Structure 1
Amino acid sequence: MCAAILGGPGVAGNGHIDIIDERTSGHEQVRMLRDEDTGLRAIVAIHNSSLGPALGGTRFFPYKEESDALTDVLRLSEGMTLKAAAAGLPLGGGKAVIIGDPHAHKTPGLLRAYGRFVHSFGGGYITAGDVGTTATDMNIIGSQTPWVVGRDAGGSGDSGFSTAYGVFVAMQAAAVHVWGSEGLSGRRVGVEGAGKVGSQLVSLLIDAGAHVNLADRNPAALQRVSETNPRVAISRRVLDQDIDIYAPCAMGATLNESTIPMVRAQIVCGAANNQLLNADCEEQLQSAGILWIPDYVANAGGLIQVSSEVTDLQPEEVTDRIAMIGSAVTGMLQAAGDVSRTPAEAARELVERRLADAEGIPA
């Protein structure tokens, strides 16, 4: 990484901490911190704050290389800009990653050091839970900074169900668009990922009368879900199965030039961020007759929940606001059909208009 040291020992708290500025086109701020005392290596990326302070979760993941972590945080933070704008929230897009295995490297001291790093942004970046971090972790991070949402002590708690519910209503809207009024009833849905979002989505789908195939690399996670939902079918993988809907709910970039020809589903709608490896995949899905609901539209439920802690949205309004994702998908599909665009093109036009309005750029 080509970088310039912006700070030295004590910049974000005790210990030897280096904040590194990666001057990356298209992002407002990208900083990396290394704390020798705790072994913390973290990157915070703020993509766009035109609509408000950047809010996005902290992902704790064992990246092989720092460059992999940087690529991920850049893509994720940009996705948060799209998500907040598409949902009509007064928030910008940001994200953070901590490099390491959360099961082996996560300690209270490391999380406190990370909290001091978050605090160094002065409220310009607000963090929350994500893959590898929990509402309890947010309590520890929040002991060092007020710029934390989704705590289970004094906050709105884990956002897994809210994210799953948003994906569910988006999927319902897509199913009605493709198959008519029966929606999800009797449909075969392949859910990839049995984590805190995928497991909740499975329950919602089964209650709606769908037949669910579930895949995950973690046998223990699969067992937990199957014990709660004995009707779920366990598969080694679901992307290439004979299903109606593919729901990626784990890591991103599962749809690429090699995997898209394997997809037999008519709809792709899931919770994973950055489901497409690159922009060309959108056209490839369209050419294959596969309807892709943009991830940043479908998975906004969790952001809507935690945003209620820093916006005017009242907690009792959260569920109703998440349910509106279904209406947003219906409107997006209608707008796309009217002018022969993909749903993603229609969603991006809405996002670009909202960002332009916030920046005072004439339409």
Structure 2
Amino acid sequence: MKLSSLLTSDWSSLVSALPSSLDLTALARAKKAIVRGRQVSDGETLLRLALWYGPCGMSLRSASALATGTGAAILSDVALLKRLAGASAWLEAVITALLAERQLAARLSDRPLVMIDGTSISRPGSIGSEWILHSRYDPDIGFNGFELTDCHGGESLKRHHFGPGDIVLADRGYAQARGLLHILEQKADFVVRTGWRSLAFRDADGNRFDPLEHFKGLPSGQADEIRTGIAVDGKRLSVRLVVFSKDDTATQAELKRVKYKGRDQRSTHPHSQLAARYTMIVTSLDAATYPTETVLSLYRQRWQIELAFKRLKSLLHIDRLPAKNKNLARTWLYAHLVLAILIDTMTQQMLDSPPSTEGLE
């Protein structure tokens, strides 16, 4: 099914994926997305207009012309701009409602995996990041949490809420002591990649612990671990440090990345070159239940959220942001997220439905 048909002739199929308890019109009025209702009187029409402009890639002029041609609404491109610019808070509330429905089925096990990551979104040709989409992902149900910020919204585990028993997987950008403590305070555990100087490691006596010195003799292709601590707010947070020694090919690839990252600096720190040989992971999981290889295996599953971001960008083109107006840009981005969640829901509904036996007997 093509995206264009999903948003036009097959519109009813898409709407059926919305929770029955979600009243789009009432929510739109509550969020001031619909006030007088002269040109756009209901939430379903407003959602269709947002999706035409967003994931369908239509210009404001094309979307307003299609709305007039189909009888969905009669408004100019300027009027449509004003409508959509005022709809970002409403679409954010729609996303919240969709994710709340999804959360009901989220805990399929006592120890669900929660993958945390963020991705940058900018207009074509712009320099640097303009928006950051902070996300959480469950491998059983897909995305189950979003927060959209401008480029100043740093990545942090403290942005997210976790449930008791969750196992949080995150890359080294999230290796922050207070973020790890935040997870433990919510009765969850973490498996987080770290750099050699991302965390203040301490030994049992409170002295500085150097992981590169400790694991320097670890043979290529092997893994090892040690119980150590992290200094946070004057306390010592006990963790396991799991280290895997890469082969020469993987080490050279990491060295190339490190040199590229430090290309604007006069020299790369020699410890960074040494650290390129190792993958270092901190975890709070119990060693008896989750031995070294299990921890490494858990962390490797984190790539599922990276692949999910690639699908958002390659299939829905969420990285082709056209809008300069801040509120309109938010609407454009939220419209993509709404569609992504609805498509996931429709896909799951089809997978859960037994195949028809008609004509087979």
Q: Taking structure 2 as the reference length, what is the TM-score of the superposition? A: 0.28
Q: Taking structure 1 as the reference length, what is the TM-score of the superposition? A: 0.28
Higher Cα Rg, which structure: 2
